Amino acid sequence: MPASFNESNYWLTTASMPRGTAGELPASADVAIIGAGFTGLSAARTLAKRGVKVAVLEANTIGWGASSRNGGMVLTGMKLDVATLSKRYGMELTRRMYADSLASIDLVEQIVREENIACNFSRCGHLEVACKQSHFDSYARSVEVIAREFNHQLQIIPRSQLSSEIGSAIYFGGMVDETSAGVNPARYVAGLASAALKAGACIYENTRVQKIKRGPPNSAGAFEIRTSRGNIFASDTLVATSGYTSSATPELRNKIIPIGSYIIATEPLLDALAKELSPRNRMIYDSKHYLYYYRLTPDNRVLFGGRAAFFPETKDTIRRSAEILRRGMIEVYPQLRDAKIAHAWGGTVDFCFDTMPHAGQLDGIHYALGYAGHGVAMATYLGAKMAEKICGSNDEIPYAAIRFPGAPLGLYNGRPWFLPFAGAYYKVLDWIS
């Protein structure tokens, strides 16, 4: 492959992050939020607008985590398909979860509009493409259930008409949802941070939370939070650390499997070629477990991602993944055989043992995480919902109503030793199913 790609996140070359709050940590805040990504910043914005004193504690810099590194696909539904969800949770709860997934996209759109965030948000729709005939056959059932049970319309695209959607001949058909959107995630997270700061939230960068303790009786807060820059008391705490959840919150870390996801971006393509590859500029992903997801950027690059290595990002996994992804991209789009890869990067996604998002309280500490690579809209939404909950809202959050499982037999301490086996398992599953 052309060896000249940068190990760098393309989105960050297009965005400028606001600076966090200067100065020392305050002695106390009403609410301490751990993590300055979509979840934490959306919560901070909501709380600060209600006059709550918020301190966001971020180990790195604003938007450092998955929120600036993702594909920018603002998708309907959840990681699990509707058949699996309804079998597991029943149709009524699934209906509420699905409705929340639609509301989460509306919320992103509303925030972008209200806060005037220049992040190329566009309701361009998404296209799922079928890698096998059996996958395509299952689309008809999904479309029918989603229309009947959730009153939401998707469109089936037979193979004979697929060229109107994608310039690739390898798929057996597709399914389009016009409600999904695309966004520049780095610009969006920067805008969300600016909005939270403008509303009065404080964001402390380079402040790693090391431990959360119950505060002593009669102290300034229910929790004493120990950080790399000193301690802070808070009446409430929200953990918004996603795939980067650490030993600072051991009970949550033991429920999260951190999995690497990787992306390459080509150099900008000529208009005609970009139009040929994605005539309707959809957010695209395929039907495999070990899936590829891809899209055009506003400046006509192909951004092509996948779980090429299961382990979280390092220099080595990024380099190896870039090679795997480039081969995958050329299988999908032989037209890109000579395209140069300008950027390659990775990030960590948070899978729970049931592949579901979870939001609630554990030992009095609030949390929202487990987005399973489907978190641009849902993290924004659950951050806001948890903020409302902290302010006393009784609104139901369906993801709070479901059991939050730990590892089977408790055989897990945050180190995902089983990832190579899981990777092999999904490869076999893609081969046989």
Ligand X SMILES: Cc1cc2nc3c(=O)[nH]c(=O)nc-3n(C[C@H](O)[C@H](O)[C@H](O)COP(=O)(O)OP(=O)(O)OC[C@H]3O[C@@H](n4cnc5c(N)ncnc54)[C@H](O)[C@@H]3O)c2cc1C
Binding stretches for ligand X (CB under 6 A): 34-40, 57-60, 64-67, 69-73, 75, 208-209, 240-244, 246, 248, 261, 263, 305, 347-349, 369, 371, 373-376, 379
In residues, how long is the chain? 433
CB of 254 to ligand X, least distance (A): 15
End-to-end Cα separation, the chain, in angstroms: 31
User: Cβ of residue 47: shortest distance to ligand X, in angstroms?
Assistant: 15
Tell me which long-range contacts 304-309 makes (C-beta under 8 A, separation of at least 24): 304/263, 304/264, 304/265, 304/266, 304/328, 304/329, 304/332, 305/71, 305/261, 305/262, 305/263, 305/264, 306/261, 306/262, 307/259, 307/260, 307/261, 307/262, 307/423, 308/260, 308/262, 309/260, 309/262, 309/346
Distances in Å between the Cα of 395 and the Cα atoms of 85, 242, 391, 392 are 22, 23, 11, 9
CA distance 135 to 368: 32
Rounded least distance, CB 161 to ligand X, Å: 25
Range 279-294 burial, b when 16+ CB lie within 10 A, else e: eebbbbbbbbebbbbb
SS3 236: strand
Please, what is the minimum distance in Å from the beta carbon of residue 28 to ligand X? 18
Residue placing its CB nearer to ligand X in the complex, 172 or 325? 325
Burial 352-366 (b: 16+ CB within 10 A, else e): bbbebbbbbeeeebb
Instruction: Name which of 154 and 377 has its Cβ closer to ligand X.
Output: 377
**Residue number with CB closer to ligand X (246 or 355):** 246
> Cβ of residue 416: shortest distance to ligand X, in angstroms?
15
> Rounded distance, CA 20 to CA 57, Å?
10
Compute the least distance from the CB of residue 200 to ligand X, in Å. Answer: 20
Do residues 53 and 232 lie in contact, with contact meaning Cβ atoms separated by under 8 Å? no
**Which is closer to ligand X, CB of 159 or CB of 320?**
320
- By beta-carbon proximity to ligand X, the closer residue of 139 and 293 is 293
Nearer to ligand X, 197 or 376 (CB): 376
* Phi, psi of 376, deg, nearest 5: -60, -50
If the CB atoms of residues 173 and 375 are measured against ligand X, the closer one turns out to be: 375
- Measured from each CB, the residue nearest to ligand X is 375
Q: List alpha helices for 161-210, DSSP H.
A: 185-199
Q: How far is the CB of 94 from ligand X (least distance, A)?
A: 19
Sign of the CA dihedral with 140 first, then 424, 166, and 163 last: negative
CB of 158 to ligand X, least distance (A): 26
Task: State which residue, 179 or 242, has the beta carbon closest to ligand X.
Answer: 242
